[in-house]
Amino acid sequence: MAKKEFKAESKRLLDLMINSIYTHKEIFLRELISNSSDAIDKIYYKALTDDNLKFNKDDYYIKITPDKENRTLTVLDTGIGMTKEELEENLGTIAKSGSFDFKKMNQLKDGYDIIGQFGVGFYSAFMVADTITVMTRPLGSDEGYKWESKGAEGYTIESYDKEYVGTEIILKLKENTEDENYDEYLDEYKIQNIIKKYSDFVRYPIKMDVTKHKPKEDNEEEFEEYVEEKTINSMVPIWRKNKNELTKEDYEKFYADKHYGFDKPVKHIHMKAEGMVRFNSILYIPENIPFDYYTQEYEKGLELYSSGVLIMNKCAELLPDYFSFIKGMVDSEDLSLNISREMLQHDRQLKLIAKNIKKKVKSELLSLLKNEREKYEKFYESFGRQLKYGVYSDFGQNKETLQDLLMFYSSKEKKLVTLDEYVSRMPEEQKYIYYATGDSIDKIEKLPQTELVLDKGYEILYFTDDVDEFAIKMIMKYKDKEFKSVSSGDLGIEPEENENEPKEENSKLFENMKDILSNKVKEVRASKRLKNHPVCLANDGEVSIEMEKVLSAMPN
């Protein structure tokens, strides 16, 4: 039997493949399972147009079999199989995708999401195997073939008597080295984990014989082993189901299963987009702050699936920083992937998806604020600061998006209120939105500067977060009303006549006071705004006293 060499460039490409394209060796199993799933899909599509072909779902599956003794791992499928020519073409030429051709030839359009397209996935198996043997029998033929290769040197093809249509791929695993343990791919538990992680939503059952234990019949104290065939994947992803088939508990279970958090989410968002870009997404607004949330370590991002196959754990591009608390996943058939799948080829579709998600999250937060105030407050307690950072950062370009989501403590309501609520309560003659800054609500309430404004019956927003005033400065105006710190010189309030009129004879006293304060103040003057307090600090410029404190505490 003659050995055939891989076509010219293929040798170098194969080397590249095995050594550098994929970051995790374990993804070889995802690639082989994806191919098997594609192969079954192909029969399914053929059956749609061919009346002689019946597609009975139970006949189609993928089976994984580890064999510890022989150190082999087998991936079997009941898919469409390959003819001799297809074996030569598809497995003999790297970067040749039979699946891509199939899609083109059959002009498959929307909804037909065959995964393969690059013609390299198969070779990723050489990351873990010395020898790969493929036994296959194509649909509509009695003849089977056996293809075998030890990597770069080439491959052989011979006839092979295969009982059923489909493909069986045997990997002879590499010997363990100091850094690499290949035996783990024979471990039932490990294999199940890899399947769950990457291929949980492949639509056909991925079966495996798993070892179980039960009490012995004659002696309940002892256990005996038995083997049972088990379907490892959950097949139908929750995000493809209809919203009305799903309960709150289903979503909460998915949240927990996916380890998005240990809390119960405040709200879930289930999106199905059909427009410029098709995608399904399940997003969660968590209740609790992840322990590392306000640190550098926290990594934002959503899980990204391409046609049900996980390609990225945390895709950061899908979320703006100010919504970095959102957890969840996106599945799209419209992504153009780079050959390694972990890398996206270009991000036009991704940007569209991100834009949709941003809009949706905003509107869901607004509706939470409007309809489920308590829940929103709980959320805001955890993540309000992030929203305020969002207003302040990026030169304020997101203030429009975010300003209606902000809340501050109100002197009048004694609870958090929105800017909209504040403005709608303003008496007609009130010119500004007043705020006071301090370490705590208690301390702010004692500030002499608040006196005049409160006496007037005006509401004051209390800023206790460092970022509050910075965010407000960025917004500048809300519904045409400017923000004004109660410590600023001109409050825009006409004081009532009182006897504290600055008098000539005080000027000497004020000079002396300024000297005693060793010029730490610019000026000492009589104030018209105080009633119950003897003295207060005021500032003239744009930067308030509190902001000055924050600024001077910042590293230069």
Task: Answer yes or no: is 56 a known binding residue.
Answer: no
Task: Answer yes or no: is 96 a known binding residue.
Answer: yes
Residues 123-182, interacting with ligand ADP (CB under 6 A): 167
Token pair belonging to 394: 């990026």
Cβ(365)–Cβ(405) under 8 Å? yes
Token pair belonging to 146: 């056996």
Residue 121 near Mg ion by CB under 5 A = yes
Question: Which DSSP string do the residues of 452-496 spell out, in sequence order?
Answer: HHHHTT--EEEE-SHHHHHHHHHH-EETTEEEEETTBS--S--PP
Cβ(437)–Cβ(468) under 8 Å? yes
Tell me which of 118, 160, 293, 510 binds ligand ADP, using CB under 6 A: 118
Return the H-helix or E-strand segment holding 75.
Answer: strand 72-77
To ligand ADP, the closest distance from the beta carbon of 63 in angstroms equals: 12
Q: Please, which residue, 94 or 460, has the CB nearer to ligand ADP?
A: 94
To ligand ADP, the closest distance from the beta carbon of 86 in angstroms equals: 6
Q: Please, which residue, 121 or 438, has the CB nearer to Mg ion?
A: 121
Residues 55-84, interacting with ligand ADP (CB under 6 A): 77, 79-82
Q: Please, which residue, 77 or 113, has the CB nearer to ligand ADP?
A: 77
Task: Answer yes or no: is 77 a known binding residue.
Answer: yes
Residues 414-443, interacting with ligand ADP (CB under 6 A): none
Number of chain residues interacting with ligand ADP (CB under 6 A): 23
Nearest one of 415, 419, 417, 422 to 453, comparing CA atoms? 422
Q: Which does 112 bind (CB under 5 to 8 A by kind): ligand ADP, Mg ion, none?
A: none
Q: Collapse the DSSP code of 410 into the 3-class scheme (helix H, G, I; strand E, B; otherwise coil) and give the result.
A: strand
Residue 37 near Mg ion by CB under 5 A = no
To Mg ion, the closest distance from the beta carbon of 55 in angstroms equals: 22
Tell me which of 122, 239, 254, 260 binds ligand ADP, using CB under 6 A: 122
Tell me which of 66, 92, 119, 265 binds ligand ADP, using CB under 6 A: 119
Rounded Cα–Cα distance for residues 193 and 205 (Å): 15
Q: Please, which residue, 33 or 407, has the CB nearer to ligand ADP?
A: 33
Q: Please, which residue, 91 or 453, has the CB nearer to ligand ADP?
A: 91
Q: Which does 39 bind (CB under 5 to 8 A by kind): Mg ion, ligand ADP, none?
A: ligand ADP
To Mg ion, the closest distance from the beta carbon of 82 in angstroms equals: 13
Rounded Cα–Cα distance for residues 133 and 146 (Å): 7
Q: Collapse the DSSP code of 157 into the 3-class scheme (helix H, G, I; strand E, B; otherwise coil) and give the result.
A: strand
Q: Collapse the DSSP code of 450 into the 3-class scheme (helix H, G, I; strand E, B; otherwise coil) and give the result.
A: helix
Residue 35 near ligand ADP by CB under 6 A = yes
To ligand ADP, the closest distance from the beta carbon of 48 in angstroms equals: 18
Residue 488 near ligand ADP by CB under 6 A = no
Task: Answer yes or no: is 184 a known binding residue.
Answer: no
Task: Answer yes or no: is 102 a known binding residue.
Answer: no
Tell me which of 10, 35, 403, 411 binds Mg ion, using CB under 5 A: 35
What sections of 73-158 are H helices per DSSP? 84-86, 92, 98-105
Tell me which of 10, 36, 306, 411 binds ligand ADP, using CB under 6 A: 36
Reported for 38-42, long-range contacts at CB under 8 A and 24+ positions apart, including other chains, are 38/79, 38/99, 38/114, 38/115, 38/116, 39/77, 39/79, 39/80, 39/81, 39/166, 39/167, 40/77, 40/78, 40/79, 40/80, 40/204, 41/79, 41/112, 41/114, 42/79, 42/80, 42/99, 42/102, 42/114
Q: Which does 78 bind (CB under 5 to 8 A by kind): Mg ion, ligand ADP, none?
A: none
Q: Please, which residue, 98 or 290, has the CB nearer to ligand ADP?
A: 98
Rounded Cα–Cα distance for residues 463 and 435 (Å): 7
Cβ(211)–Cβ(227) under 8 Å? yes
Rounded Cα–Cα distance for residues 250 and 238 (Å): 8
Applying CB under 6 A, which part among 28-36, 201-209, 252-260, 433-441 lies near ligand ADP? Answer: 28-36
Q: Collapse the DSSP code of 149 into the 3-class scheme (helix H, G, I; strand E, B; otherwise coil) and give the result.
A: strand
Task: Answer yes or no: is 31 a known binding residue.
Answer: yes
Q: Which does 448 bind (CB under 5 to 8 A by kind): ligand ADP, Mg ion, none?
A: none
To Mg ion, the closest distance from the beta carbon of 281 in angstroms equals: 25
Reported for 548-553, long-range contacts at CB under 8 A and 24+ positions apart, including other chains, are 550/466, 550/469, 550/470
Residue 31 near ligand ADP by CB under 6 A = yes
Return the H-helix or E-strand segment holding 363.
Answer: helix 348-371
Task: Answer yes or no: is 203 a known binding residue.
Answer: no
According to DSSP, residue 415 is labeled: S
Task: Answer yes or no: is 118 a known binding residue.
Answer: yes
To Mg ion, the closest distance from the beta carbon of 122 in angstroms equals: 6
- Interface ranges with ligand ADP (CB under 6 A): 31, 35-36, 39, 77, 79-82, 90-91, 97-100, 116-122, 167
- Interface ranges with Mg ion (CB under 5 A): 35, 116, 121
Q: Please report, in range form, the residues annotated as the binding site for ATP.
A: 31, 35, 77, 82, 90, 96-98, 117-122, 167, 341
